[in-house]
Amino acid sequence: MQLTNPTWIHHSGGAIYSIDIHPNGSKVATSGQGSDARSGQVVIWNVKPVINEKKAQDASCSRLLSRMLHENCVNCVRWSPDGALLACAGDECALSVWEYGGRINSAGVIGSQDGANVEKYRQKFRLYGHTLDVLHTEWSKDGRYLASCGMDNSIIIWDAHNFPGKVAVLNSTRSGHTGIVKGVSWDPIGKFLASQSADRTVKIWAIDGWDCVKTIVEPFAESTPTTMFCRMDWSPDGTYLVLPCATNNDGPTAQLVRRKDWDTTLDLVGHRKAVTVVRACPRLLEYTTHKGSRLQVTCFAVGSRDKALSVWLIPNTDRPVVVLHRLFKHSILDFSWNDLHLTICSMDGSVKSIVFTSGEVGRLLSNVEMGEICEKLYSRRLPQYSTQPTMNGELTVGKMMKGAVALGSEFDIVKAKTEEAKKRAEDEAKRKESLMRNRLTIDSNAPSSEMIAKTGPALLPTQTQSEPSEKKEEEVNGKEASVKQGSAVKEQLEPPTRNDPEMHANEQKEIRMKSGKRRIQPIFVASLTAPEEDSPTAEANCSPREEEVMVPVPEEKPYSSGDIRLPLSSQQDGNDMDIDEKEPEPTTSKDSLRIEAPVSLRPIPENEKVHVVVNSGRSILMSIPRRTRQLFVTVSRSIVCPVDRIEVLNEFQISRGMGVTKVVALDGGKTCWCTLLEPVVCAIAANCTLTVLGCFDRSVYVYSTPCGRLRILLTVDSTPSSMCVLQSFFSVCSAHGYVYVWDAEKNRSILSRCSLGDICEKDSEVAIHRITEDGMPLITFSTNKTFVFSAELHCWQPVNEPSGVVPRISGPLSSLMKTSDSDTTLNALARPSKSNPISTDIALRRYASMVLLEKSICSARALHSRDEYRYYMLTYVRNLVQDGCLSKLREVMCSLCNEDEYVCGIKRNVLMRELVDELKSRKECEEILSEVSSRLGI
């Protein structure tokens, strides 16, 4: 095993959220934050310096290939199966699909302090559909679909052959997730799509109808959504699905799901914190056990928030073959495999590389062997395990054009044909190939003199040398570029002719008009230091241009009919740069040529992004309630308020094409009052005094519950995420993570724009939003941590720690909590721990009891809980007296003597008398008693 630490791979100090190796293994893409927390970037790196230390020291070997800057953070990056496209998903609420644009000699990205770019990438598609951040994206194994998921609780299936077309949107209307969707994974067999959400469920979707066929709940029932992503994966043969973020007996695990019956009895244990990512080696391995038996296994890499990596061979292995502790300084977020080469990225902004040997994990099966295994299991040969050079692990010949038949599908069709049908297909392909060769000859012998004259004198020698240069290239390398795609290739690919406008992309064109005026088409300059080998041509009016990146590959025996040979570009860089071959537009006539005028490109629309930066560059974005047609809340009746239910009907139709929001107050089905408002309501809270409505346009309406009078109308910084009401107080938590509290009776603000950034963890959500009796917000997160805002201290105070180690220490505390009133505020917030108690010595248990009592006193005072404060203070003083802790006793009594007349709503002298009674039981406390009595006169 070779472990390397390429420190030169970084994002200028920002976190790296995703990593993916190109299918041919020559380069790796990383995505994440930019130089500041607001921006994002995608960087393409050379793999050779990563695995070869000599190459890393070689100045002629470029480390950085390209850097693409984004306005917002990029959460996920994935290469298409053929390596032609790169999909990026992030906080821009949209997906970007990039394509390779050739090798260049550039001075680097404008505004970046890094080195020069070696490769050029252009944004080919921009996919809109999500309303919030996109967390993950994944290509299907056959390249037909692209799935994306995010914080809007939805999954979008994109048609990869017809971008930006959508195939399906999997949301609540299709029995989808009710929480943030943190990861998706395609079944390698092509039948299912798995998705995992913060709602503690995993759903299996059938691709044939996009229906949810299975919902897995049990392994995640006790888990907490503490991870930013849930990146799962299938075994290469589709037998197992391994899911992160599962728990077993309160311990973090990776859950194994068997495809046959969706059984969930097996899991991978050992990590100390939640598992964040699971990634499988792209093919099965033949592993030899210590007994000499050979097994076919899947190699899974498992990463966790505990900064550790474990590598498992599934099935028939009980322990991981490799465990690396403290590999990073922060959580592991993503993996990528290329054969036995594993790359890992972390939130600390670093990348590690591991190259395994066959002796350590087993022999990697070939594509032929994988195809045979899948054919035995599923009676079909999968396209990703085809021997053709357009799939993972092989050289990429080029992109599959729009409308072309997928290679794997074409092979299945040819195999199913009869011998007679095969013969007819071969004859037809030979006839078409002959026609194309004749057309090549005609076009090459008939150049347009007008075009040659107007595009400059340097064009003619370049074009006349094109064909000999191609022949020389074939002789030197002994290779030919062949694409075997049957009859569909003729419609997709046209050979370049010397008269085609594509060939004049680098030349300034001058056209003389009838009026005598000259029209000059300027040159597009993309490099600051040297011109590119091939510049992008003008795009057609109807759709973006397709491009073909040609790489010479060994000649193979054709499987299907016909073998169409494509000429390689004659222009080649002195540094052996990649060849960027352009595919010309098909012409409508052989005798005439069109000169297309330059087309002005429509700028890509940008969606407004809700993004808040707090503290040291941390981003806070709370979940927004999903848009529903009807909302309701129940109200406790009172003498002055007969209302028992408030209903909200969004998009209530008042006429054709016009709708408003209708609010109705009911008393046992009878309407008490009704009102209308323009915006769509997203959240509602009510009691017998106030009815508060939060709307998607950031407005908040406050009505009087008994009569429906509008009392207050205000606007907050962003869409309300949660709201609550207590007496005359009402509170709003916005999607930006700001908390507001108002007193409707006095018509004044209690708290304004108080940020949750100081207390909100990266992957947590607001689970409970309440108000204390004195009007302070009380927030409980999905991690079960609760905080209350202190007006006196002007900060958030923690009020419970349910998952700590100290509460599990057995001792006097266990009986203490049982005797306390379970209906009090503090005990209502604390969930009983399901973890087993920890047995230790008596002294340590005594210390633990004191710690918990002191925390309970602070929490009760922060909550202004009078009864709990008295109870815990009396218990605390009683324990101090029993243990003989005189120094703490003196400190407690003296501090209470200095308090105001009332302490947490209790009269100070009354509380002191109760505490003095506890001190009278021991003689050692007589000195403290006399001091207190002299100061207070009791």
In whole numbers, what is the pLDDT of the chain averaged over residues?
75
Instruction: Tell me whether residue 409 is in a domain.
Output: yes
Residue 253 near residue 275, CB atoms below 8 Å: yes
Task: Report the pLDDT value the prediction gives residue 525, as an integer from 0 to 100.
Answer: 45
Model's pTM, two decimal places? 0.47
Does residue 560 share a domain with residue 414?
yes
Query: Which domain-ending residue is among 783, 811, 846?
Result: 783
pLDDT reading at 682 higher than 50: yes
Confidence band (pLDDT; 50, 70, 90) for 439? low
Amino acid at 497: T
Task: Report the pLDDT value the prediction gives residue 392, as an integer from 0 to 100.
Answer: 36
pLDDT reading at 548 higher than 70: no
Instruction: Tell me whether residue 576 is in a domain.
Output: yes
Distance of CA 666 to the CA centre of its chain: 43
The residue with greater pLDDT, 149 or 54, is: 149
Confidence band (pLDDT; 50, 70, 90) for 668? confident
pLDDT reading at 296 higher than 60: yes
d(CA 614, CA 612): 6
Task: Report the pLDDT value the prediction gives residue 246, as an integer from 0 to 100.
Answer: 92
pLDDT reading at 458 higher than 70: no
Least-confidence region, from 45-54, 313-322, 351-360, 525-534: 525-534
Does residue 590 share a domain with residue 562?
yes
Does residue 480 share a domain with residue 562?
yes
Task: Report the pLDDT value the prediction gives residue 104, as an integer from 0 to 100.
Answer: 79
Does residue 863 share a domain with residue 759?
no
Least-confidence region, from 19-33, 256-270, 524-538: 524-538
d(CA 12, CA 329): 16
Q: Which tens digits make up the pLDDT trace of 35-94?
A: 776 788 999 999 999 988 888 788 888 889 999 988 889 999 999 999 999 999 998 889
pLDDT reading at 933 higher than 60: yes
Task: Report the pLDDT value the prediction gives residue 785, as an integer from 0 to 100.
Answer: 85
Average pLDDT of the segment spanning 886-890 = 81
Least-confidence region, from 167-176, 281-290, 508-517, 588-597: 588-597
Task: Report the pLDDT value the prediction gives residue 826, as an integer from 0 to 100.
Answer: 54
Beta bridge partners of 94: 128
Across 47-51, 556-560, 886-890, the highest mean pLDDT is recorded for: 47-51
Confidence band (pLDDT; 50, 70, 90) for 647? very high
Does residue 889 share a domain with residue 840?
yes
The structural domain count of the chain equals 3
Residue 757 near residue 618, CB atoms below 8 Å: yes
**Residue-number span of the structural domain to which 829 is assigned:** 801-938
Instruction: Tell me whether residue 199 is in a domain.
Output: no
Task: Report the pLDDT value the prediction gives residue 519, as an integer from 0 to 100.
Answer: 61
Does residue 737 share a domain with residue 599?
no
In the numeric block, which tokens belong to residue 660? 């408003």
Task: Report the pLDDT value the prediction gives residue 336, as an integer from 0 to 100.
Answer: 95
Least-confidence region, from 104-118, 283-297, 300-314, 347-361: 104-118
d(CA 741, CA 749): 6
Q: Which tens digits make up the pLDDT trace of 350-374?
A: 999 999 998 888 899 988 888 888 8
Q: Residue 457 contacts by C-beta under 8 Å, 6 or more apart in sequence?
A: none
Does residue 625 share a domain with residue 600?
no
- Of all residues in the chain, the percent with pLDDT exceeding 90 is 35
Query: Which domain-ending residue is among 609, 636, 657?
Result: 609
Task: Report the pLDDT value the prediction gives residue 828, as an integer from 0 to 100.
Answer: 52
Q: Which tens digits make up the pLDDT trace of 812-865?
A: 444 444 444 444 455 555 544 444 455 555 677 777 777 778 878 887 887 777
List C-alpha distances in Å: 481 to 24, 492, 567, 585, 834. Answer: 16, 16, 8, 20, 64
What is the domain-level CATH number for residue 768?
Answer: 2.130.10.10
Confidence band (pLDDT; 50, 70, 90) for 904? confident
Does residue 632 share a domain with residue 564?
no
Does residue 815 share a domain with residue 686?
no
Instruction: Tell me whether residue 726 is in a domain.
Output: yes
Least-confidence region, from 108-122, 414-428, 520-534: 520-534
Backbone angles phi, psi at 271, to 5 degrees: -80, 150
d(CA 360, CA 365): 15
Backbone angles phi, psi at 895, to 5 degrees: -65, -35
